[in-house]
């Protein structure tokens, strides 16, 4: 079984080292796996830390985008690499260390056991964990409201429609679908919507999340885009 762990980075700096250190390498030794780190043209010291990681880990592959292509486009590059090299599964990890890689073994066990198309890490399955992890209240409330809207329109029961922690079964997800998806922060919504429309199962596992001083932002533009796309996606189906 071939597994690609891909880490998307943008101004991750020293945090990328923490991400690598939390990968459960012992679990992955029984698989044919590689780690692809794809940086989206960071203008800080992220590249330096990534190159240090490369020297220490033989299974690490590097990609440095020559310009900033956006969150979704960076994911597409990683997944295209996985398809090209015939990987069976791909896991997306964020380089800012918000989602701990220590859950990867549980997520892979679940996707293999359940034979589902994807497994995601949910910060909201146990809501108090999100608060303990430092999730700002406006994001906590926004997550609940927008997730409920998605569930209402698509008759689903997800607890966290905004997670960036995914494992994909590449034998079931079609490469041509990627062209339809957003190159920005709504990529994950487009993926979720497509899989739901294809009547595929997305499973969730509860995870802790971590918000530090360098917080990723889900702002009004994202929330509005999520709301509009959710409605339009249902109308067009």
pLDDT value at residue 147: 98
Given a contact cutoff of 8 angstroms between Cβ atoms, the answer to whether 226 and 147 are in contact is no
Global confidence as pTM: 0.96
Q: Is 37 helix (H, G, I), strand (E, B) or coil?
A: strand
213 pLDDT higher than 70:
no
Total domain count for the chain?
1
Rg, the chain, Cα only: 17
Is 121 exposed, middle or buried (CB count within 10 Å of its CB: 0-12, 13-18, 19+)? buried
Give per-residue pLDDT as tens, 16-59.
999 999 999 999 999 999 999 999 999 999 999 999 999 999 99
Give per-residue pLDDT as tens, 89-132.
999 999 999 999 999 999 999 999 999 999 999 999 999 999 99
1-5, 137-141, 146-150, 202-206: which has the minimum mean pLDDT?
137-141
Strand 32-39 relative to strand 60-64, pairing: parallel
Instruction: Give the C-alpha separation, 186 to 150, whole Å.
Output: 13
212 pLDDT higher than 90:
no
CATH number at residue 175: 3.90.550.10
Q: Of 161, 146, 170, which is closest to residue 196 (Cα–Cα)?
A: 161
Q: Of 47, 112, 28, 38, which is closest to residue 81 (Cα–Cα)?
A: 38
pLDDT value at residue 81: 98
pLDDT-above-90 percentage for the chain: 92
Given a contact cutoff of 8 angstroms between Cβ atoms, the answer to whether 185 and 222 are in contact is yes
pLDDT value at residue 173: 98
Instruction: Give the C-alpha separation, 225 to 53, whole Å.
Output: 36
Mean pLDDT of 221-229: 95
Residues facing residue 62 across a β-bridge: 37
pLDDT value at residue 211: 84
By residue range, what is the domain housing residue 182?
2-236
| Phi then psi dihedrals of residue 88, to 5 deg | -85, -40
**Farthest-apart Cα atoms in the chain, separation:** 50
pLDDT value at residue 218: 52
Residues facing residue 4 across a β-bridge: 34, 90
Is 119 exposed, middle or buried (CB count within 10 Å of its CB: 0-12, 13-18, 19+)? buried
pLDDT value at residue 234: 86
76-90, 144-158, 167-181, 205-219: which has the minimum mean pLDDT?
205-219
Residues facing residue 202 across a β-bridge: 118
Q: In what order do the strands lie in the sheet with 60-64?
A: 60-64, 32-39, 2-9, 89-94, 166-169, 118-122, 202-206
236 pLDDT higher than 90:
no
Mean pLDDT of the chain: 95
Element (H, E) at 32: strand 32-39
Given a contact cutoff of 8 angstroms between Cβ atoms, the answer to whether 102 and 27 are in contact is no
216 pLDDT higher than 80:
no
85 pLDDT higher than 80:
yes
pLDDT value at residue 237: 73
Given a contact cutoff of 8 angstroms between Cβ atoms, the answer to whether 72 and 170 are in contact is no
pLDDT value at residue 209: 87
């Amino acid at each position: 079984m071939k597994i690609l762990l891909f880490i998307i980075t943008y101004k991750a700096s020293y945090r990328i080292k923490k991400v690598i250190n939390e990968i459960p390498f012992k679990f992955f030794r029984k698989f044919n796996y590689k780690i692809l780190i794809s940086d989206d043209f960071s203008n800080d010291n992220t590249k330096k830390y990534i190159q240090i990681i490369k020297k220490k880990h033989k299974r690490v592959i590097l990609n440095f985008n020559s310009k900033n292509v956006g969150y979704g486009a960076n994911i597409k590059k990683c997944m295209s690499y996985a398809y090209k090299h015939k990987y069976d599964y791909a896991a997306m990890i964020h380089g800012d260390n918000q989602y701990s890689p220590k859950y990867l073994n549980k997520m892979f066990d679940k996707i293999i056991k359940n034979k589902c198309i994807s497994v995601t890490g949910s910060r909201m399955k146990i809501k108090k964990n999100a608060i303990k992890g430092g999730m700002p209240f406006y994001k906590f409330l926004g997550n609940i409201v927008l997730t409920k809207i998605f569930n209402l329109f698509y008759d689903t029961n997800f607890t966290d429609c905004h997670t960036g922690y995914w494992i994909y079964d590449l034998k079931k997800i079609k490469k041509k679908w990627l062209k339809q998806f957003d190159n920005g922060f709504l990529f994950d919504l487009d993926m979720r919507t497509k899989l739901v429309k294809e009547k595929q199962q997305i499973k969730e596992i509860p995870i802790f999340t971590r918000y530090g001083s360098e917080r990723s932002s889900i702002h009004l533009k994202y929330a509005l885009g999520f709301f509009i796309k959710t409605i339009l996606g249902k109308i067009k189906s």
